[in-house]
Structure formats: structure tokens, C-alpha cells
Amino acid sequence: MLAVTMGQSVSEKVSDELVETNREPVIISLLKNTNAKISANTMEYLVEQLR
């Protein structure tokens, strides 16, 4: 899964599925990927998890 997050582009659907794994290293890597597309709902979910 970690390798997927490092790909050139990651679709919103794949990003959603990666976040659903709840694996912190995967999520961090996804957020560092400037080419990853992350839906507003997924971003809101991640922000809520930080609180």
C-alpha cells in the first residue's frame, strides 16, 4: 500500500481506500504526494481525526 501512495498520481477513489486502512505511514505518504487527489470528504475526515 505504501508504494501506491508514492505513485505519480493517485485517484480520489484510491486515496479514499488508502485512508480507510487507517495505517498512519500510508496516510502520511499519501498526504505528501502532491499529485494525489484527495476528496473534500476524506480531507475533512482526516482533519477530524487530528482533533
* pLDDT block averages, 10 residues each, the chain of length 51: 81 96 95 96 95 89
In angstroms, the CA 7 to CA 36 distance is 8
Are the C-beta atoms of residues 10 and 30 closer than 8 Å to each other? yes
3-state secondary structure 17-45: HHHHCCCHHHHHHHHHCCCECCCHHHHHH
In angstroms, the CA 7 to CA 3 distance is 7
Give residue 6's pLDDT.
79
pTM: 0.86
Which one, of 32, 38, 47, 35, lies nearest residue 18 by Cα? Answer: 38
